[in-house]
Chain A
Amino acid sequence: MTEAPKKRGRLFYKFLFVFLIVSLVPLGIVGYYLVNLSQVTLNRAISRDQEALAVGFSDTVSSYITNFRNVLFDAAHLEDFSSMNAGKQQALINHVMQLHAPFLELSVIDSGGQETVRVGRFVRDNKLRDFSNDALFGKVMKTGEFVGGLEKYMGSYPAITMGVQIVSSTTNQGTGVLIAKMSLTGLSSILKTGFPEVTHTQAAVIDTNGFLIAHSNLKEIYKPDAKLPDDILKILLQNDAKTGGGEIILDTGEKVLGAFAEVSELGWVVYIQRSVSVAYSASNEMLKRTRWMMLLVTVFVLILGYAVSLFITQPIHALREAAIKLGEGDFDYLPDISMPNDEIGELAHTFMQMSESLKVKTAEIMSAKEELERLNRSLENRVEARTRELKSAQDELIKKERLAAIGQMASVVGHEIRNPLAVINNSIYFIKTKFNASAAANPLDPKVTKHISIIESEIRQANGIIDEILGFARTRELNPKLTHLNAYMEDLMMSYPFPPHIELVKKLAPENPTVNIDTDEMTQAVRNLIKNGIEVMPEAGKIFVRTEVAGDMVRIDVEDAGPGIPKETLEKIFAPFFTTKARGTGLGLAVVKKIIDRHRGRVEVTSVVGKGTCFKLFVPLVTNNQNKQQYK
């Protein structure tokens, strides 16, 4: 395997992608609208809640003021208040002030506008003032009561002035006015209780001039120039609606959710402001949760999509792998598919069938190919063998031609040398005879006699060499005769002049086989071998001559106990003119081989250095049947 196959293919990712698109996009769109819708709704609800709060607080403020007006009213309308003397009135007013902490000052003014009683928490001089020209006094006398005149009492507390007519229970006539200055810090306390700091909500009450009456943060109230920021004031003061609310972007850049409500009768405005992040925290929280939910769903869808894609593509992937294996020629690889019962399953099934069919076809092709290769090889072998035969035949032919040429030349040379040899021979004979004749009278130098013998010996030697060469070169026709081998061998050994130091050991085949041989030539061959054997044992030794039937051949062994022939020499001994002797033509064994070849036999030689050499001549055995045919 060259490359690890990809576990998930492109198809897998396509499936995954499509699955994600199909499931996540609608989810996203729906989620987006849902979140936005609910956020808007929620924000609206929050805004409305805030408006309702503002309305509620405007009622609270209204009832707070009304409550204290009622206290004043009740006091002024007491049955005998108008008839009371100043001391008694003062005692009552003191009592009222002790009961209601917001009252800062209480004054009783008679119908003439003269202050008759004055009680105050921070008043030191108790000097009675003249209110006859006071607009407030006049208004109360005319309308019966008055609430207004906002101020910063002693430059710190926001305060309001209230006045009610003192009415005589008997005459039901106005006899004077009860005026009170009342601290409004209580409103701020109410606001603070309603909107503690942790809620990040600020609430305030202002009048139509923008005077800050109350604030949820008390510190704001005590500031000398206490008022709401200008941008908010602008919105509140220009607005004609009784209630309202919405998002405001402040000059500081902060985004806030504001709501306002008019306090009935007084014309004040209650304003509630919350930072948007706080106001919408619920919707933000919802958004956050929704996003988490989306993320969870996405992860879930991813995992699901992964699983589904894998489930769908796994068989296809396995099929692909199997197809690759098939391409590589691995027919036994079965894809690891839990076959689904659908089109893919059918595809896999078809694939298996195709694979099986391919396997069969490929096996057929392979076997045909093998057969073809085998034929090719056999053809090649035959061509090679034939080429070898031809080559060897050619070599043989060349060798034969060469030998024939050599033979021809040798024959001519030999013949030509024989004449001079004959002459020398005759002449030396003449000289020898002459010397012998005169020997008695004139004794011969023994050295001359010796040299004459040397010449005679050398003539014989030379003649022998020529005989050998001519014998080898001779190309007379073979003249085979059916011969009883044992008798023939006995004759041969009998006639051979074995020297006395050689012991002949013979062992002839008891079957007394018949062979078809040219006895002249065979004799020459065997004699050459015996001669060689004798020559290698100059001191003493044994020559073994054996005959034996070996299958359809007869074997003639000539073995000596000489020094043996080294292996490298053994290969060359049958080559013509090869010799290891000081004097020799090197034709003896070549003649042996030639003769045995002419008899359709073969020559083998085994030699052990230091032990001896054995030549084995194989010639065809003549069986009885052949024998009869031959004699017919």
Chain B
Amino acid sequence: MSGQKILVIDDDAHLRESLAEVLDLEGFACLQAGNAKSGIEAAKKNNPDVVIMDIQLPDSSGFQICQELRRYSKDFILIMMTGRFLSAEEKTQGFSLGADEYLTKPFDIQELCLRIRQLLSRKGK
């Protein structure tokens, strides 16, 4: 179970790093990407089990990346992070485009890990 690869995509370096390192601590192997382009590249290259990405990135909207990533693979778990409330429509749209979960910042790390593990086990990983 442990050692699963998680790709964290966020333009906020502190958030990205702190999250990645905390997840490392929890036994995951974290990759980081600072923007949509490098995130997609990293995903293609490393084939992560989980992608955690900010819904708003400087070079692309979260939904576009969502679409692009899903076009490439439906295998990984996609978790969207947001700092604001999402409307029901936005949530619905995200789910339809392939998002598995939403996270509202800030989040409880233990809860997140638990959730990731649940999703992973559901996918049979």
User: Which A residues are within 8 Å of any B CB, using their own CB?
Assistant: 411, 414-416, 418-427, 429-430, 433-434, 459, 463, 470-471, 474, 476, 479
Contact = CB atoms under 8 A, between A and B. Distances in A.
A422 B105 contact: yes
Contacts of A423: 12, 14-15, 18
A418 B105 contact: yes
21 contacts: A418-B83, A418-B105, A418-B106, A419-B15, A419-B83, A420-B14, A421-B106, A422-B15, A422-B106, A422-B107, A424-B106, A425-B107, A425-B108, A426-B15, A426-B109, A430-B21, A430-B25, A433-B22, A433-B26, A434-B25, A476-B87
A430 B22 contact: yes
B105 A429 contact: no
Identify whether the interface residues of A are mostly helix, strand, loop, or mixed.
Answer: helix
Most chain A beta-carbon contacts within 10 A, residue among B21, B88, B106, B107: B106
Most chain A beta-carbon contacts within 10 A, residue among B25, B84, B104: B84
B9 to A, nearest CB: 14
Given A418-B104, A422-B19, 7 more contacts: A411-B84, A418-B105, A423-B15, A426-B21, A426-B106, A430-B25, A470-B84
A419 B84 CA distance: 10
Contact of A416 (B83, B104, B108): B83
A474 B105 contact: no
Nearest to A459: B106
A429 B109 contact: yes
Contacts of A426: 15, 18-19, 21-22, 106, 109
A415 B15 CA distance: 14
A463 B22 contact: no
B122 to A, nearest CB: 25
Contacts of A418: 83-84, 104-106
Given A416-B83, A474-B85, A427 B18 contact: yes
Nearest to B26: A433
Given A426-B19, A430-B21, A434-B25, A414 B84 contact: yes
A433 B106 contact: no
A433 B25 contact: yes
Contacts of A416: 83
Contacts of A434: 25
Interface in B1-59: 12, 14-15, 18-19, 21-22, 25-26
B92 to A, nearest CB: 13
A426 B81 CA distance: 14
A206 B25 CA distance: 191
Given A426-B109, A430-B18, A419 B25 contact: no
Interface string B83-111: 11101100000000000000011111100
5 closest Cβ pairs, A-B complex: A426-B18, A422-B106, A418-B83, A422-B105, A425-B106
Most chain A beta-carbon contacts within 10 A, residue among B12, B21, B84, B105: B105
Contacts of A411: 84
Nearest to A475: B87
A426 B14 CA distance: 9
A158 to B, nearest CB: 171
B62 to A, nearest CB: 14
A476 B85 CA distance: 10
Contacts of B105: 418-419, 421-422
A23 B12 CA distance: 132
A429 B22 contact: yes
Contacts of B85: 470-471, 474
B57 to A, nearest CB: 13
A434 B19 CA distance: 14
Contacts of B26: 433
A420 B13 CA distance: 11
A526 to B, nearest CB: 20
A463 B106 contact: yes
